[in-house]
Structure 1
Amino acid sequence: MNAYKKATLTEIVEDLVNMDQSMRFAAIIDLKGNILESIMKKGKTSLKTQKKKSISAFRLPKGEK
């Protein structure tokens, strides 16, 4: 009945992230919002990293406005 009854959290998040090709990250959190397990799909870049790169691309050199 419950396919994940004996599965580890790692196995569950791996299955979650593999459900959709466009998904890059999956996590299991507890009721308090703590991340119990998470995984980033191989070959995908973190959106946080991408955001930092795009922000730094728009910064002007010192003294220019």
Structure 2
Amino acid sequence: MADPIINDIGESGAPSIGGDSGLNLNKRLDCEHLDQMTDNWTDYQRPSFVTVLLRFFGNVFVDIFNAIFG
């Protein structure tokens, strides 16, 4: 019996040679307006600085507790 995942690889592979890849390699890079050419990515799941500090010192406390009583 053929694996259905392997059969789907040919359809979703790389674009054909000479096909439209969506990239214009002849376009010059506009260094003066570089921030407008790129997309800004915001991580909404990033924890706050206080949360990172509490996790860090919590881990240090647990390590010290395990070293003393472990």
| The structure with more helix, counted as a fraction of residues | 2
More relative contact order, 1 or 2 (CA 8 Å, 6+ apart)? 1
